[in-house]
């Protein structure tokens, strides 16, 4: 019998990319491929790429560069570039890295198995790309960006009891700094029946937590005749899927955080009261240059709406871009003030990176120096970290339900007494990371943890069981 093909895949970027990689690996495994741990051991090498910041692209091009030799000594090796950078840079990738065999955009992933086969048998370079945003009628552009959700394979996820579930592809917001609408195409909601079926399959496979994915997930809508399904309706339907214990959804767009959605989050016990709603900047002038479509006052109103509906149990997180075109010191300070005012659970903070093909790149000079961006990044992060730590301190002495994900990064798996406790990690319903000592068999279970210490990013606790007396007994 012929030896199976061996696949090495490297993934960068957002959760969408992680899900895409899971799907591609699953489809190749169905064709008999096995996974390899390094490019050297593989006959097929795929890079699932991201274009959101220049640094992500540079990393991929350097990784590709390192494969040049490898390809020269093993010309039969197939090297493919898939994902957002494939769609953005297209055939230019063949010029920059002439030894690449495949360039496949995120809307064409279903073609990967056949294209690999073709490259292997016929040789030559092959590209499968979706239409650009100005390359035809909207319906044709939409059709050229296909959602890619074939059969799920639980063994392909880092944890089989947690899964991403795509409900929306693309984005129509066109924030001036952002490349995503160009790489992922027009916003399209998947039909609710497909989403529900996939959730049931996942539950049957033992999945307990699903995270619904969309670039602006709360803008989700699907029209069928005169019936429109929105995210709140979808959450109601998913709540009744047996076996699913937790439902999360990312990423949210502030303008679409409606009262009916928040009420669904309040009323549906499986839905996590964790809301990732990027603000991006605390200055109206900057928000306008970013074309975010809301003002700081709108965001404040949203925060108030969240507070009124969900109260204390809500955990809000955000993204910020520092050093966007023309950002003055005062405008930056407005972001600092909003972090202090909103007291986010955490924030992801990024230095503005000009992306060719975006509105900002065409019309606004990238005029803030790297040093200033770096300083602002550090300053905003320091303020946020203090707030995160204060927020976590509030959990001291409390019990939280944690879905155990696996050994923590610190867990020393090689140096432990056999089957003894190790440091495990998991998350609360509101997405806080918790570490504690426990037996590995707890992985995949939801258990109560008593919190005795906290840092900015982690709660530290022990497994507890509440005896009839109310006394806390450690199980770890
Ligand atoms: N769809 C999501 C985010 C997609 S990109 C949303 O709209 O919230 C993730 C984050 O990367 C963004 O929230 C933004 O903060 C950051 N980002 C996007 N483009 C960027 C750029 N050109 N430079 C720096 N950060 C960027
Ligand atoms: Fe990019 Fe804005 Fe769309 Fe998010 S909403 S993906 S930041 S264009
Ligand atoms: Fe990157 Fe594409 Fe996601 S650009 S952030 S991988 S949608």
Q: Please, are residues 215 and 183 in contact by the beta-carbon 8 Å criterion?
A: no
Does residue 187 form part of some domain? no
| Ligand nearest to the backbone CA of 17 | 3
- Domain harbouring 134, CATH code: 3.40.50.12160
Residue of minimum CA distance from atom 24 in ligand 1 = 352
Residue of minimum CA distance from atom 19 in ligand 1 = 178
Distance from the alpha carbon of residue 92 to the mean position of ligand 3, in angstroms: 19
Pairwise CA distance, residues 351 & 323, whole Å? 6
Does residue 409 form part of some domain? yes
Does residue 453 form part of some domain? yes
Ligand 2 within 6 A of CB of 335: no
The whole model's pTM is what? 0.95
Residue with tokens 């019309």: 363
Domain final position from 141, 169, 201: 141
Distance from the alpha carbon of residue 72 to the mean position of ligand 2, in angstroms: 40
Domain range for residue 47? Answer: 6-141
Ligand 2 within 6 A of CB of 180: yes
Distance from the alpha carbon of residue 23 to the mean position of ligand 3, in angstroms: 16
Residue of minimum CA distance from atom 3 in ligand 3 = 14
At 476 the pLDDT is 36
With the most atoms of ligand 1 within 8 angstroms of its CB, the residue from 180, 211, 350, 377 to mutate is 350
Pairwise CA distance, residues 259 & 239, whole Å? 18
Question: What number does the ligand 3 atom closest to the CA of 48 have?
Answer: 6
Does residue 133 form part of some domain? yes
Domain final position from 90, 116, 141: 141
The values of phi and psi at residue 60, to 5°, are: -70, -45
Ligand 3 within 6 A of CB of 88: no
- Structure token pair of residue 399: 């019990």
pLDDT in tens, the chain (476 residues): 678 999 999 999 999 999 999 999 999 999 999 999 999 999 999 999 999 999 999 999 999 999 999 999 999 999 999 999 999 999 999 999 999 999 999 999 999 999 999 999 999 999 999 999 999 999 999 999 988 877 788 888 889 999 999 999 999 999 999 999 999 999 999 999 999 999 999 999 999 999 999 999 999 999 999 999 999 999 999 999 999 999 999 999 999 999 999 999 999 999 999 999 999 999 999 999 999 999 999 999 999 999 999 998 899 999 999 999 999 999 999 999 999 999 999 999 999 999 999 999 999 999 999 999 999 999 999 999 999 999 999 999 999 999 999 999 887 666 655 667 899 999 999 999 999 999 999 999 999 999 999 999 999 999 997 653 444 444 43
At 470 the pLDDT is 47
At 475 the pLDDT is 40
Pairwise CA distance, residues 402 & 418, whole Å? 24
With the most atoms of ligand 3 within 8 angstroms of its CB, the residue from 47, 52, 319 to mutate is 52
Cis geometry, peptide bond prior to residue 253 (ω within 30 degrees of 0)? no
Hey, what long-range contacts does 229-234 have (CB within 8 A, 24 or more apart)? Answer: 229/189, 229/192, 230/260, 230/261, 231/167, 231/261, 231/264, 232/258, 232/260, 232/261, 232/263, 232/264, 233/192, 234/167, 234/192, 234/195
Does residue 276 form part of some domain? no
Does residue 11 form part of some domain? yes
Does residue 189 form part of some domain? no
Q: Please, are residues 48 and 64 in contact by the beta-carbon 8 Å criterion?
A: no
Considering its fold, how many domains does the chain have in total?
2
Q: Please, are residues 17 and 50 in contact by the beta-carbon 8 Å criterion?
A: yes
Domain final position from 141, 164, 191: 141
Pairwise CA distance, residues 128 & 286, whole Å? 37
């Amino acid at each position: 019998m012929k030896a199976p093909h061996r696949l090495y895949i490297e993934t960068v970027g957002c959760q969408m990319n992680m899900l895409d990689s899971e799907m591609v690996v699953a489809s190749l495994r169905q064709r008999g491929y096995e996974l390899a741990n390094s490019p050297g051991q593989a006959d097929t090498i795929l890079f699932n790429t991201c274009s959101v910041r220049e640094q992500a692209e540079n990393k991929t091009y350097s990784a590709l560069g390192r494969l040049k030799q490898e390809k020269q000594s093993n010309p039969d090796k197939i090297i493919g570039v898939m994902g957002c950078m494939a769609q953005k840079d297209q055939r230019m990738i063949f010029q920059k890295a002439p030894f690449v065999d495949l360039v496949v955009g995120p809307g064409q992933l279903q073609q990967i198995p056949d294209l690999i086969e073709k490259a292997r048998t016929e040789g030559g370079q092959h590209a499968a790309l979706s239409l650009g945003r100005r390359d035809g009628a909207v319906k044709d552009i939409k059709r050229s960006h296909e959602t890619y959700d074939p059969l799920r394979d639980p063994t392909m996820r880092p944890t089989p009891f947690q899964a991403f579930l795509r409900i929306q592809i693309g984005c129509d917001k066109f924030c001036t700094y952002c490349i995503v609408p160009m790489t992922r195409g027009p916003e399209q909601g998947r039909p609710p029946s497909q989403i529900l079926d996939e959730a049931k399959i996942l539950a049957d496979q033992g999945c307990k937590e699903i995270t619904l994915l969309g670039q602006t997930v709360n803008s989700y809508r699907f029209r069928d005749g005169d019936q429109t399904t929105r995210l709140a309706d979808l959450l109601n339907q998913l709540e009744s899927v047996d076996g699913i214990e937790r439902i999360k959804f990312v990423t949210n767009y502030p303008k679409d955080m409606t009262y009916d959605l928040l009420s669904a989050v309040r009323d549906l016990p499986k839905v996590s009261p964790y809301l990732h709603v990027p603000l991006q900047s605390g200055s109206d002038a900057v928000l306008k240059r970013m074309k975010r479509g809301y003002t700081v006052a709108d965001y404040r109103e949203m925060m108030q709406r969240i507070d009124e509906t969900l109260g204390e149990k809500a955990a809000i997180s955000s993204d910020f871009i520092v050093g966007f075109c023309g950002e003055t010191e005062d405008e930056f300070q407005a972001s600092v003030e909003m972090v202090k005012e909103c007291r986010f659970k955490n924030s992801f903070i990024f230095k503005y990176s000009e992306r060719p093909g975006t509105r900002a790149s065409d019309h606004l000079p990238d005029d803030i120096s790297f040093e200033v961006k770096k300083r602002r990044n550090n300053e905003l992060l320091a303020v946020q970290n203090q707030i995160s730590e204060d927020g976590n301190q509030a959990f001291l002495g409390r019990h939280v339900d944690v879905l155990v994900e696996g050994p923590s990064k610190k867990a020393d798996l090689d140096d432990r007494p056999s089957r003894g406790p190790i440091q495990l990690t998991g998350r609360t319903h509101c997405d806080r990371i918790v570490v504690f000592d426990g037996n590995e068999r707890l992985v995949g279970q939801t258990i109560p943890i008593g919190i005795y210490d906290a840092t900015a990013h982690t709660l530290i606790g022990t497994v507890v069981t509440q005896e009839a007396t109310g006394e806390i007994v450690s199980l770890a």
